[in-house]
Amino acid sequence: MKFRTAVRSDLSGLVRLMTRAFQNYPTFTMAFCPAFQKTGGYCQFLDDYFTMALRSYWHKGQIVVAEEHGRPVAIGVLAAPTVKVTWWDDLRCGGLRLVWPYLRHRQSRLREIEQADGMGQPDEGTWTLVYFAVDPTVQGRGIGTALLQQQLVPIAKAAGARQLTLVTNTHRNVAYYRGQGFQVVCKRQVKCSAGVVFNWQLTRLI
């Protein structure tokens, strides 16, 4: 296994990885599964969503992957405190083309994702771990921990970061990140069309 910066040819593989990793994640299942129960297309929506998201961060953030047997099996997306991805960025990255089939009837649910995964603008010196995912087929082998501890934390620290922050929506992830030195700094409930999503923001010194 090796770690490296993502390249453009990784995009489709990283999108599939993220869809597999997040398809059962509360933010997405609560906001979107009900809308697709009759029509299908849930995983295709996630593919479109993550394609837009990764393109939006491609030049604004740092995308690092763990590669095994020639394919990415884990991804981390870091952003400096000055980075802010806007709707205009998403549109420039193909967001209108990707999201428009869903936007007319599901715009409110896109806002629900933003609310459930949202946090305040980080303080100076605090970098954000925007996305962090391991392919479910290789989870439990320490690949994500190695990517986090050996790559993402040192990269942020070398760039001048004093803290690393993130948001998660599951108790399991909270327990994992606590084991990696993070502490919960904020917890809230976000109401969405299908129920309530819990939102934890965690931070660790680096």
- Give me the domains of the chain, ranges plus CATH numbers: 2-160 (3.40.630.30)
Q: Identify the pLDDT of residue 112.
A: 57
Q: What is the mean pLDDT of residues 124-133?
A: 94
Q: How far apart are CA 55 and CA 94, in angstroms?
A: 8
pTM: 0.86
Convert the pLDDT of each residue in 30-39 to its tens digit: 777 666 765 5
Helix axis angle, 42-57 to 26-36, nearest 10°: 130
Q: What is the mean pLDDT of residues 96-113?
A: 54
Min mean pLDDT across 3-12, 34-43, 50-59, 112-121 is at: 112-121
Q: Does pLDDT of 161 surpass 90?
A: yes
CB 21 within 8 A of CB 136: yes
CB 25 within 8 A of CB 169: yes
CB 178 within 8 A of CB 171: no
* Arithmetic mean of pLDDT over the chain: 85
Q: How confident is the model at residue 118 (pLDDT cuts 50, 70, 90)?
A: low
Q: What is the mean pLDDT of residues 147-166?
A: 96
User: Which residues 6+ apart lie within 8 Å of 157 measured at CB?
Assistant: 206
**Which of 123, 113, 50 has the alpha carbon at shortest distance from 80?**
123
> What percentage of the chain has pLDDT greater than the value 70?
77
